[in-house]
Homo-oligomer: A and B are copies of this chain.
């Protein structure tokens, strides 16, 4: 709560809000309350303001969701394509990409479906990745497909990473699916350092990079 003082109607001497403040606070509120309770009223309350005040700085709730994307994706490291071979760079990029989304568990569920439509930061990332791939000798026509395939895997993995940990548990149905249940248990013992989701991500990432190298 930024301000508990009462405020009477009329323009205040100093602005209480700004677009950036609203977006940054939105991320905080969303991560605390979850998507269900992420309302304009809850956001306004956190900012110490009445709900309609928000509309002086943002277009509405959809505008806020779209604007939050840049805060989430700010942690993605695509600079490595300048210095490392494409396959090593891809692994680092993919891990930071997944981690950036997984750090905002509720944001991802809201952003996964909201289209990006030519956001500048995303395009800059595409440019850097494309450069890295081309410098490594990738044929022009396959670069975007390879990059998108990696992105698809990363986004799916981020959704998996924020899913409830018991999501794949057979529970009472275990006797019906013995082979799967055994495989699940065997996988748990494989590497105690990594979660089930982490293991799947690392195996898939290694496989995808190796496979792409072969199809280059």
Contacts and interface: CB of A to CB of B under 8 A. Distances in A.
A60 interface: no
Contacts of A148: 160, 168, 196-197, 200, 204
B186 A123 contact: no
B109 A145 contact: no
Nearest to A143: B183
Given A113-B159, A156-B156, A145 B210 contact: no
Q: How many copies does the complex hold?
A: 2
Interface of A, helix, strand, loop or mixed by DSSP: helix
B115 A149 contact: no
Contact of A210 (B142, B144, B215): B215
A124 B207 contact: no
Given A179-B130, A207-B212, A200 B145 contact: yes
B113 A112 contact: yes
Contact of A123 (B155, B180, B207): B180
Interface string A139-162: 011111110111111111101100
Contacts of A172: 118
Nearest to A132: B179
